[in-house]
Structure formats: C-alpha cells, structure tokens
C-alpha cells in the first residue's frame, strides 16, 4: 500500500509538471490577452502600461520560470482579468460545482441502478424495451439541447422551476449550499437533471448488461440452491459483482462532471467553475486556465485513487500494491 501511494504520488507530480508546460505554452501560442482585455479606445501608452503590468513583456521562458518559481511557493499567479489569486477564483466557485456534481451523481445512481436492475431482470419485456429506448435518447440528444428543452418546458411553459442562477444559499459547516431551502433546491433541480441525464442512461445500461451477464453464472445458481431469496441474491451478491465496472466508469465521469460541466453551467447560469474555465480560455486569462487544469488533474488523480481503493473493498482479490 505504501509503495503504491509513493509511486502514485511521484507519477502525479510528473503529470502536473507536464500539464503546466503544455497549457502554459498552448495559451501563449493562441494569442496575446492584451488584444482582448484592452479598452476599445485605448492609447499606446495604456497598452504598454497594461502589457508591463501583466508581465507580458517578458519572453515565454521567463514567464514560465516566474510561474514555476511562484507555484513551488504555493502561488499560482493572479488572474489577468480579475486581478485576484487564480486559485481563490477557482475555490470560490468550486462549492457550487461540487454541489451540482454530487446531486447529479446521486440522481444518476439512484435512478440508473434500479432502472438497470429492473430491465436486466426482465430482458426483452416491454419495460426493458422502453428503458433501453429511453436511454438511447439520454445518450444521443445533445446536452445543450436537453437543457434548453428543460427550460422551455419547466420554466417557460409550465412555470414550475426557475431557469437561471443559484437561488438562496446558506452556509452549513463552512460550505455554501443551496440544499437547505426550497428556493435553492428549486434552482438546482433543472441543471442537476440536465447534467445527470447522460449519466443515468450510462449507469442504466451498465447495470443492465452486468445483471444479464451475472444472472446465469454459477454463484447465482448456488445461492438459489442454498435457498436465498431472489431479493437478497440480486441486491447483495449480483449487485456487488457488477459494481466494479460501474465504479470505474462513474469515477471517471464524476471527474468530468466536476471539471467540465461547462454546457450545463452556461445554460443555467450556474456560478460554477466550468463557466470560469470557458470564460478564461476565451479571454486568454492564462493564470486561471493553468491553475484550473492543475486543480482538475489533481482532482482526477484523487478520484482514481479513491476508485482503486473502492475496487479492493468491492473485490478482496484485488491488491493495491500490484494494481499500479
């Protein structure tokens, strides 16, 4: 286990270092942020002043050197646009995104697994066909379009749910959350559902195929011979066996939900960090983009680590030392 962690950690640092170089040089190659940030009627003097203030008069190597030196001291630089530490900007927006991601994850598991079990246990029934067709829709309809439809139906026509923003927010245990009031929850429903639709389909399909694969296996027959109830067989033995692929996929997808919920956050004007990333790329706000992607890479590393640990809990045959 210790070897595993050390090896993982050193790999992670290397990944972070390479990411920083690629992103830094990539954004530098796209263009000069001054051309985007400057006032429409700026004079030469103003332009030069701004270039100097943001350190853009130095060469790429010098700029990267400064960045790396500061980063090693825990400072990822200040945003060109906001003039605030980029890490603060990201962390300020993270709770909103985490909240959205966790609710979406919860929805996808809470809806996807029962649906998958249900249709997997009754293959080729009307119900199974319906669920499978429905999941194709969930897969294939673009996220953006789904979002607009949700808004048109539930906000514009029915007027049940608000279409934009985050609603009331309370501070619980130091985290700002909107789960404590109806205003907050009502604002959360549409974006969370929009984000979850794809995942629900994914989990349903994974669960269904897992169930179909496992039901004819010997351990199910033994369990039946032993006299266990069908309910126990499915909910304990089968479910545990099919969880490994689900955990793997959901783990990776969860990282994706957190880091790149951009479409949903944009449509619903959700003040999360996905929107920050896209805005920062459009405005070439390099410190924020670099810091963001470093945070995201870290996040993925952590999630993969958790997934590996979950494997060993779900299936005692898997040992972490050799898994890496």
Residues that bind other proteins (CB under 8 A): 30-47, 49-50, 53-54, 78, 80-84, 89, 92-93, 96, 148, 151-152, 155-156, 159, 162-166, 169, 266-269, 271-272, 275-276, 279, 281-284
**Which C-beta is closer to other proteins: that of 255 or that of 274?**
274
Residue 189 CB, nearest approach to other proteins (Å):
14
**Which C-beta is closer to other proteins: that of 45 or that of 173?**
45
- Give whole-number Cα distances, 231 to 185, 217, 234, in Å: 34, 16, 5
Residue 243 CB, nearest approach to other proteins (Å):
36
- Give whole-number Cα distances, 80 to 35, 267, 287, in Å: 12, 25, 7
Beta-strand runs (E) in 110-187:
170-172, 175-177
**Which C-beta is closer to other proteins: that of 245 or that of 271?**
271
Q: Which residue has the tokens 């957190």?
A: 258
**Which C-beta is closer to other proteins: that of 117 or that of 276?**
276
**188 sits in which H/E element:** helix 182-214
**22 sits in which H/E element:** helix 2-30
Residue 261 CB, nearest approach to other proteins (Å):
13
Residue 146 CB, nearest approach to other proteins (Å):
13
**Which C-beta is closer to other proteins: that of 56 or that of 244?**
56
Q: How many Cα atoms sit within 13 Å of 52 on the Cβ side?
A: 6
> What whole-number distance in Å separates Cα of residue 301 and Cα of residue 307?
10
Residue 204 CB, nearest approach to other proteins (Å):
28
Q: Which two tokens stand for residue 314?
A: 């779900």
Q: How many Cα atoms sit within 13 Å of 246 on the Cβ side?
A: 28
**Which C-beta is closer to other proteins: that of 87 or that of 303?**
87
Residue 155 CB, nearest approach to other proteins (Å):
4
């Amino acid at each position: 286990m210790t070897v595993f962690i050390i090896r993982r950690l050193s790999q992670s640092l290397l990944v972070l270092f390479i990411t920083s170089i690629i992103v830094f040089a990539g954004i530098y190659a796209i263009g000069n942020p001054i051309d985007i940030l400057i006032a429409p009627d700026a004079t030469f003097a103003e332009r030069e002043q701004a270039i100097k203030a943001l350190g853009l008069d130095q060469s790429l190597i010098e700029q990267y050197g400064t960045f790396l030196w500061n980063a090693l001291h825990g400072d990822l630089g200040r945003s060109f646009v906001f003039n605030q530490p980029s890490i603060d900007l990201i962390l300020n927006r993270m709770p909103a995104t985490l909240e959205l991601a966790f609710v979406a994850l919860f929805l996808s598991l809470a809806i996807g697994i029962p649906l998958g079990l249900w249709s997997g246990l009754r293959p080729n029934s009307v119900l199974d066909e319906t669920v499978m067709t429905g999941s194709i829709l969930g897969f294939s309809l673009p996220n953006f379009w789904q979002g607009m439809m949700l808004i048109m139906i539930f906000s514009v026509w029915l007027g049940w749910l608000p279409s934009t923003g985050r609603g009331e927010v309370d501070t619980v245990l130091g985290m700002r959350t909107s789960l404590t009031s109806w205003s907050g929850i009502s604002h959360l429903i549409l974006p969370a559902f929009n984000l979850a639709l794809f995942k629900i389909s994914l989990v349903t399909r994974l669960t269904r195929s897992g169930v179909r694969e496992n039901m004819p296996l010997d351990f199910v027959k033994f369990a039946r011979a032993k006299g266990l109830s069908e309910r126990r067989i499915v909910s304990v033995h089968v479910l545990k066996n099919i969880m490994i692929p689900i955990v793997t996929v959901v783990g990776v997808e969860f990282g994706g939900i957190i880091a790149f919920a951009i479409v949903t956050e944009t449509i619903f004007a959700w003040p999360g960090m996905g929107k920050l990333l896209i805005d920062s790329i459009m405005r070439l706000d390099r410190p924020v983009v670099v810091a963001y992607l470093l945070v995201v890479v870290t996040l993925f590393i952590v999630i993969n680590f958790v997934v590996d640990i979950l494997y060993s809990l779900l299936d005692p045959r898997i040992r972490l030392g050799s898994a890496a």
